[in-house]
Structure 1
Amino acid sequence: MALGFGAPLAFLSYVFGESERSFHQEAAPGRPDRVLMVADVAGGFSVDPVYRMELVSGSGWSARHWSVGVRWKSSRAVWDGPDRITVTGGSAVMVFDVLADGSLSAPREEPLPPKH
């Protein structure tokens, strides 16, 4: 009897839950203690990806997680140096500086570079 309900419940939790479809992590240049993590958390509510981005500073039980944000399909987060994260999407670039304690600065908006 439990097996009969288990499969539909697992399917519904996948469709309506926050299951991660893809995941990427990258350490900062020269700073293995700083990792940028990007996960597609759209689950079943969207065919388009929804990216959750965060910075993990430190390691193990003392690692701190700092939210870079949640962005829709066209966003891209990358390291732009050991202390700078840029998120490109739409018509602007959001820039985050990683402070000495591993936390994030408030984001600042910069215009997109011109296309060649």
Structure 2
Amino acid sequence: MTWIILFCAALLECVWAVAFKQSDGFTRPWPAIVGVVTAVASVVLLAIALRALPVGTAYAVWTGLGAVGVAVVGIARFGESASPARLGFLTLILVGVAGLRFLESG
């Protein structure tokens, strides 16, 4: 259950990052509100996951999945680069996250 909570926190990290992009520097209120609410929810879920997981592992997974998720949204929605090198390095992040998941109990 702890890992599910952590994955949900990472998903919310993707939501808030994209919402802040859409808020255009907090000039558009609804995306800004979505960003703030999901950022708080993401941090709360991370804190809950930290009850059972080591801080280094949980934080690395949270930021790693968030970074990959936002990069995928950037590629799909905002036309960011999908170069083989970029995709390769994003894959390395996922490999690291998977390694941490399978090495930790919780």
TM-score w.r.t. length of structure 1: 0.28
Determine which structure has the larger strand proportion and give its number: 1
